[in-house]
Copies of this chain bind each other. A is one copy, B any other.
Amino acid sequence: MWNGCSRRGSIVRMKRFKFPRLPVGWLVLMTAVIAPGPGTSAAEWSTDGAGREATISTEAGPSYESDGRLKLPAHYREWIFLSSGIDMSYGAAKSGHSMFDNVFVEPTAYREFVRTGRWPDGTSLVLEVRGASEKGSINQHGKFQSGDLMGLEVHVKDTKRFQGDWAFFSFSEGPGAAKIIPTTAECYSCHQQHAAVDTTFVQFYPTLLSIATVKGTLSPAYGAEEAAKR
């Protein structure tokens, strides 16, 4: 069963998606992604005690085109960071480029998870894949994340829209809008069978794992898998 469920498949698919190197197309995307402005999603502004402005990028649930494609959450880099991994694979070892992945969650969903250990309807998680560089500036060993954005996938909980409550979208064509990944894809069955909380891999998000453990919201299947190892 595990052979049919490999993060590698997902990464390989994402490798087709590569923005041009700095400073051409990537800058255009990232300027759109990180620069707040009027009319961009539901980002709100408030003023803290020191009189400086701070933004909060709630984006209030997923947003779709009329044809059902998911819009890229414009401010995902300002969402709550859950964790990073490097070259993770659930099956065979990866070949090719070394890549980091970063996972972010929309802040209102994060807040609800902290409170209850569960994901509310409207939760979005973004998986961002970046190139891993070794030599660069003064770094001599180990790896750091490069400007090469190599993939973006979004995992959305929208119970009224999706059978099974959740759907995956891969922005393999660029940062505009993405079609749903067909529900026959292995990512669905793998997340269903092995994810620690509600089809999400909370076992790889250290600050959330402790919360789910305390709140008692780990899935029975995950609990059984972990118990079987002991």
* Residue ranges of A at the interface with B (Cβ–Cβ < 8 Å): 2, 5, 7, 22-23, 26-27, 30-31, 33-36, 42, 44, 46, 48-50, 52-56, 58, 60-61, 77-78, 80-81, 83-94, 100, 102, 104, 107-108, 110-112, 114, 120, 122, 130, 132, 136-147, 190, 194, 196, 201, 203-204, 206-207, 209-211, 213-214, 222, 225-226
Please measure, in the bound complex, the distance between the C-alpha atom of A81 and the C-alpha atom of B42, giving whole angstroms.
Answer: 20
The reply to whether B94 and A142 form a contact with Cβ atoms under 8 Å apart is yes
The reply to whether A213 and B23 form a contact with Cβ atoms under 8 Å apart is yes
Please measure, in the bound complex, the distance between the C-alpha atom of A88 and the C-alpha atom of B83, giving whole angstroms.
Answer: 17
Given A108-B50, A130-B206, A207-B30, A87:B142 Cβ within 8 A: yes
Please measure, in the bound complex, the distance between the C-alpha atom of A80 and the C-alpha atom of B196, giving whole angstroms.
Answer: 25
Given A48-B42, A84-B84, A85-B145, A140:B93 Cβ within 8 A: yes
Residues on the B chain within 8 Å of A48, using CB? 42, 44, 56, 58, 60, 108
Please measure, in the bound complex, the distance between the C-alpha atom of A87 and the C-alpha atom of B132, giving whole angstroms.
Answer: 12
Pick the residue among B53, B61, B132 that contacts A111 (CB under 8 A). B53
Closest to A79 in B: B81
Residues on the B chain within 8 Å of A111, using CB? 36, 52-55
Please measure, in the bound complex, the distance between the C-alpha atom of A3 and the C-alpha atom of B85, giving whole angstroms.
Answer: 29
The reply to whether B143 and A52 form a contact with Cβ atoms under 8 Å apart is no
Residues on the B chain within 8 Å of A36, using CB? 111, 114
Residues on the B chain within 8 Å of A7, using CB? 139
Pick the residue among B30, B138, B211 that contacts A210 (CB under 8 A). B30
Rounded to whole Å, the gap between the CB of A55 and the closest CB of chain B is: 6
The reply to whether A35 and B114 form a contact with Cβ atoms under 8 Å apart is yes
